[in-house]
């Protein structure tokens, strides 16, 4: 309980805190009862002088000789990791190789000194690939490696490289993205991603249309995520604001991304941005792409008239901020699946002050910012500074922006930005940016991120149909070790403290409408109580239609407030062990059937063999329209 209270205290101060899954409270007073016996055991060992220089985490300096007393002190005393790293840096060490199962120490070391930290292995990644990547980064930094040892028994051989740099001139003709659309009775959009604007009669709706590809918009190739060329979320923001400007509603009140837009090398994608009629001072905006004969909705939101935003005139670099090295940002991002090309590698410098991150970003000199409100690559680069702070958990997951709130563009055509990023609760940040002279460019009140996997970005033929299937959850050794409590009935307000998760069993009174209303009230109280801002409400439902209505309600709440709810649809009471496994799975919804944990997945719908009609010689067929009438 004392440890949990300390964790909550640190979190309340905006700091990262996590309870460690260890067997004993090492390096604390709780180890003192075993020190005498431990000293007797260690005294029986024979110690030799180290053959290599060893910097001790006990002293923070080089140790010449180990003995029994040293190891007793090692168990009890504080770990002087920062002192040890600083000692080596002062001695001229500029590159560190971490030998261990993950890169935790490398991340800590980067916060201590300005040096290169390379982990040999990374959690949940291919070991040979991780090791070879580490070797490559060390060689790139100037380390002289023994390549014969690496390639021993592999028949490797050296090859001569050209003695001159490769030429990078581009001679392909650039395709025109727009023609003379006015001859067709429509208005030119004058935007690099959009060609035309059409106002629909009577309805008040406006449609903007365009056609893009990696040939006509070359910078798209530089945004590769988990192996797929992905239209950036900042591009959808640019499209929505351009559409809002067309109708005098240039403030993007909200924009939620619904599906990724993956662009294949040989594909040209048709875009439609549909702005709805004004209602209550707002206009809806929806962004589509064409897929075969159908349309895929990628983003939907609301537009309002531009509002005034006050920005503080802050000193730059910001007072009290500490400079951060940015050299390793893009190599580290590539390891997580973000293979940014030159157009998106815009981060130039960064600073930290507490949990806030400040950065300078710019477009490459050959990038064309004209025609854009704010070039998507520049705004995307502004978000890269998130990786230099502690705004998100260090869990190795790739995250993409998916919900934008309160976006105001104050100036168009920027090529350089000064950016301020700050936490906005959960997996969300707030952003303000000015140009180098301090003039406001863009303000984002809140931007929420969501973890994605490579499977979510795979392109599939549009003609295939899919259905929902419940499959066994992925095998994982991860354990959820947070605090789990049970709600007494529906009394969420009666909970004490700030548990990591609370379990609410859905009521089953026989009146589905009354049950849904009761759960709605509990969910509203849960979201309104600041104690549970970082907690998750686990709603356990049954499997009958009335319980499905409750699950539908909670599903909507989870879509609006990602990470705050978990649905567990069960055919029997669920023990705490399975609930913890469900929380560890990281899914918004799971099912428990016969004691097994299942997760929802879309699978290709294949018609049953007996559903395909077979016509024989004696079959009767009704033909309509074949002869002109019946």
DSSP string, 290-332: EETTEEEEEEEEEEE-----------SSPTT-EEE--TTHHHH
Q: How far apart are CA 109 and CA 478, in angstroms?
A: 25
How many helices and strands (H and E) does the chain possess?
13, 28
Q: How far apart are CA 163 and CA 166, in angstroms?
A: 9
Contact 372, 191 (CB under 8 A): yes
Buried b (16+ CB within 10 A) or exposed e, 202-226: eeebbbbbbbbbbbbbbbbebbbbb
Among 203, 183, 221, residue whose Cα is nearest residue 278:
203
**DSSP 3-state percent helix, strand, coil across the chain (nearest 5):** 25, 30, 45
Residue tagged active-site, from 191, 223, 416, 420: 223
The CA dihedral of 560, 564, 568, 574, to the nearest 10 degrees, is -160
Handedness of CA 130, 132, 133, 138 (dihedral sign): positive
Residue tagged active-site, from 102, 356, 380, 427: 380
The CA-atom distances, in angstroms, between 69 and each of 34, 115, 187, 189 are 13, 33, 83, 77
Rg of the chain's alpha carbons, rounded to an integer? 29
Q: Report the SS3 class of residue 480.
A: coil
Q: How far apart are CA 596 and CA 121, in angstroms?
A: 32
Contact 287, 273 (CB under 8 A): yes
Q: How far apart are CA 448 and CA 386, in angstroms?
A: 12
Buried b (16+ CB within 10 A) or exposed e, 84-107: bbebbbeeeeeebebeeebbebbe
Among 406, 415, 408, residue whose Cα is nearest residue 435:
415
The CA dihedral of 541, 543, 549, 550, to the nearest 10 degrees, is 0
Q: How far apart are CA 57 and CA 280, in angstroms?
A: 64
Contact 309, 444 (CB under 8 A): no
Residue 298: CB partners within 8 Å, gap ≥ 6?
A: 231, 236, 257, 258, 259, 260, 261, 287, 288, 289
As beta bridge partners, residue 63 has 54
Strands 269-275 and 283-291: antiparallel
Residue 553: φ, ψ to 5°: -60, -50
Q: Among this protein's residues, is 223 annotated catalytic?
A: yes
DSSP string, 397-442: -EEEEEEEEEEEE--SS-SEEEEEEEE-SSSEEEEEEE-TTS-EEE
Q: Report the SS3 class of residue 160.
A: coil
Handedness of CA 25, 28, 32, 38 (dihedral sign): positive
DSSP category for residue 353? E
- Residue 69 structure tokens: 């007393």
Contact 72, 35 (CB under 8 A): yes
Among 504, 479, 501, residue whose Cα is nearest residue 490:
504
Residue 558 CA, chain-centre distance (Å), reads 17
Task: Enumerate the active-site residues.
Answer: 223, 380
């Amino acid at each position: 309980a004392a440890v949990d209270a300390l964790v909550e205290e640190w979190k309340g101060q905006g700091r990262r805190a996590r309870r460690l899954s260890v067997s004993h409270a090492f390096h604390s007073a709780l180890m003192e009862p075993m020190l005498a016996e431990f000293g007797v055991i260690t005294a029986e060992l024979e110690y030799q002088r180290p053959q290599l220089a060893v910097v001790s985490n006990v002293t923070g300096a080089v140790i010449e000789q180990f003995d029994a007393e040293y190891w007793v002190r090692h168990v009890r005393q504080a770990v002087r990791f920062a002192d040890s790293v600083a000692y080596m840096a002062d001695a001229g060490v500029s590159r560190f190789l971490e030998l261990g199962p993950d890169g935790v120490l490398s991340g800590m070391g980067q916060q201590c000194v300005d040096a290169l930290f390379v982990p040999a292995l990374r959690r949940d990644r291919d070991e040979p690939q991780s090791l070879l990547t580490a070797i490559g980064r060390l060689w790139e930094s100037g380390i002289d490696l023994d390549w014969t040892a690496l390639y021993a028994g592999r028949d490797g051989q050296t090859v001569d490289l050209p003695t001159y740099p490769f030429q990078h001139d581009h001679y392909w003709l650039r395709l025109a993205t727009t023609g003379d659309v006015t001859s067709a009775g429509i208005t030119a959009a004058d935007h690099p991603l959009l060609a035309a604007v059409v106002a629909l009669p009577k309805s008040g709706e406006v449609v903007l249309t365009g056609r893009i590809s990696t040939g006509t918009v070359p910078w798209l190739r530089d945004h590769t995520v988990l192996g797929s060329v992905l239209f950036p979320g900042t591009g959808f923001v640019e499209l929505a604001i351009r559409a809002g400007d067309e109708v005098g509603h240039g403030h993007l009140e909200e924009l939620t991304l619904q599906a990724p837009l993956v662009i294949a090398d040989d594909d040209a994608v048709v875009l439609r941005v549909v702005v709805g009629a004004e209602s209550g001072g707002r206009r809806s905006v929806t962004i589509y792409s064409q897929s075969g004969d159908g349309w895929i909705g990628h983003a939907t939101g609301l537009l309002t008239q531009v509002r005034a935003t006050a920005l503080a005139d802050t000193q730059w670099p910001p007072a009290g901020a500490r400079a951060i090295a940015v050299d390793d940002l893009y190599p580290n991002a590539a390891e997580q699946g973000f293979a940014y090309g030159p157009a998106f590698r815009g981060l130039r410098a960064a600073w930290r002050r507490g949990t806030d991150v400040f950065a300078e970003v710019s477009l490459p000199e050959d990038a064309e910012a004209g025609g854009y409100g704010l070039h998507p690559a520049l705004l995307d680069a502004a978000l890269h500074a998130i990786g230099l702070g502690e705004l998100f958990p260090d869990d190795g997951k790739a995250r993409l922006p998916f919900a934008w709130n309160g976006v105001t563009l104050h100036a168009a055509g920027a090529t350089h930005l000064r950016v301020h990023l700050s936490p906005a609760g959960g997996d969300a940040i707030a952003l303000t940016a000015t140009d180098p002279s301090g003039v406001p460019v863009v303000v984002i009140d809140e931007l929420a991120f969501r973890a994605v996997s490579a499977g979510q970005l795979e392109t599939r033929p549009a003609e295939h149909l899919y259905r929902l299937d419940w499959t066994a959850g992925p095998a994982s050794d991860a354990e959820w070790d947070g605090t789990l409590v049970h709600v007494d009935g529906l009394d969420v307000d009666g909970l004490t403290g700030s548990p990591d998760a609370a379990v609410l069993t859905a009521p089953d009174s026989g009146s589905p409408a009354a049950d849904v209303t009761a759960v709605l009230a509990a969910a509203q109280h849960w979201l309104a109580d600041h104690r549970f801002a970082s907690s998750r409400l686990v709603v356990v439902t049954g499997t009958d239609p009335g319980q499905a209505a409750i699950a539908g309600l909670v599903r909507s709440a989870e879509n609006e407030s990602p990470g705050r709810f978990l649905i567990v649809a069960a055919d029997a009471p669920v023990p705490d062990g399975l609930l913890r496994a469900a929380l560890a799975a990281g899914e918004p919804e799971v099912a428990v059937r016969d004691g097994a944990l299942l997760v929802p997945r879309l699978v290709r719908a294949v018609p049953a063999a007996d559903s395909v009609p077979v016509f024989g010689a004696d079959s009767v067929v009704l033909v309509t329209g074949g002869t002109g009438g019946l």
